[in-house]
Structure 1
Amino acid sequence: MTDTRTKKIDFTAMYASHDAFRRDLERLGKAVADGRAGTPGVRAGWDNFTHQLHIHHTAEDSGLWPRVRDRVAGRPRDLALLDDMEAEHSRIDPLLAAVDTALQDQAPELPDLVRALTATLDDHLKHEEDSALPLMQDVLTPADRAAFTGRIRETQGLRGAAVFVPWVVDGAPETDRAAFLNAMPPPVRVLNRLFWEGGYRRKGLWGDH
């Protein structure tokens, strides 16, 4: 019998999502610097960014970290890392709310808030990539990972997937785009090519980025 724990977990979609979050905050920072923060395209881009991040972090908090925590019971250093992951999420939430309010009000502190959010989220993503993902690779199985991605798929639904998939690959280098799409089921790739990418582009997220 094959031991499923010896199979490596494919984190392609996780890294691609992280890169998309970083890319969107770069676009927000540029929009703020260019004086376009109040435009409909930027607002739509920001709303989608916060929506995608909420789904991602909620799935981690409810369906991923508890699973890892069960596997590392009695290992204080690993449990402390999971505490850090959850604490970092809690520090990001008020920054999202502050940026959202400042965007609506076009407040003068908006540039500083965007920089603070960008630095805080990037630190968290790097910490997760450098420490939490290797831990997950060590203690979880591909089936555990599939349960996590399944939770995201259920939350997104088909309508959400029609935005999520082209959003992830928007502006990605061709090799990264191909790696992400190749990790998707064939019907998703077909739907994305025929319908979803065009619909996503028509949304005009971030406007002239």
Structure 2
Amino acid sequence: MTIDFTPMYASHDAFRRDLERLAEAVADGRAHTGPVLAGWENFKHQLHVHHTAEDSDLWPRVRTRVGGRTRDLGMLDEMEAEHARIDPLLAAVDAALADRAFELPDLVRALRATLDDHLKHEEDSALPLMGEVLTDADWAAFTGRLRETQGLRGAAVFVPWLVDGVSAGDRERFLGAFPPPVRVLNRLFWEGSYRRRGLWVVR
């Protein structure tokens, strides 16, 4: 069976969407409003969960499967180095938001460019490699680690966050990657709760 990377691509799209929203809020002078700051905090949390699981569980599994293939091991080193470059930019944006610093627009642009470069590199190089070398059991173990880290409370935010603002077709495709009970919970409870939080919403 071929690994379904739909949730991975959907997460990447959600990260890009949130940083676009942050950039728009900065340009419009809304960066320090409650909905924007709440959206930013959720973005940081989702990115932290995603990257921590990759660093602690996914990349080591891929390393084991590629054996001594130098080129592939080098690419995995690049993945980890790119994660390390993103963290200081997150901290810099945090500080600029807190201080209302004039550098905020430049820092947000730098973060968007750096994260987008990393996500594209992962999509172009790491995901094809994972599809080649990982077993279904490997992927199930990684996604299980993500579910364990999120927990039910985290999933109640993660799932509706993933499909926030996407087209009807993408929404159906993204949600279709989850088990039926998750889709039912999302429809009956999670999406309404998520919308009431009003992340990024212009009031």
Q: TM-score range by the shorter chain?
A: over 0.9
TM-score, normalised to structure 1, is 0.96
Match of 1:74 in 2: 68
Match of 1:96 in 2: 90
Distance 1:98 1:155 in 2: 26
Match of 2:118 in 1: 124
Match of 1:178 in 2: 172
Report runs of 4+ in structure 1 exceeding 2 Å deviation.
none
Match of 1:167 in 2: 161
- 1:189-200 maps to which residues of 2 (within 5 A)? 189-200=183-194
Match of 1:34 in 2: 28
**1:11 paired residue among 5, 21, 25:** 5
Over aligned residues, Cα RMSD in angstroms? 0.8
**1:137 paired residue among 114, 126, 131:** 131
**1:22 paired residue among 3, 16, 21:** 16
Match of 1:60 in 2: 54
The Cα of 1:49 is off from its aligned counterpart by 0.1
Distance 1:169 1:190 in 2: 14
1:87 aligns with 2:75: no
SS of the equivalent of 2:32 reads coil
Distance 2:8 2:70 in 1: 25
Distance 1:106 1:203 in 2: 24
May I ask how many residue pairs the two structures share in their alignment? Answer: 203
Distance 1:54 1:87 in 2: 15
The Cα of 1:74 is off from its aligned counterpart by 1.1
Distance 2:65 2:32 in 1: 46
Gap runs ≥5 in structure 2: none
Distance 2:79 2:137 in 1: 22
Counterpart amino acid of 1:115? R
Counterpart amino acid of 1:28? L
Deviations 1:50-72 (A, max 9, x none): 00000000000000000000111
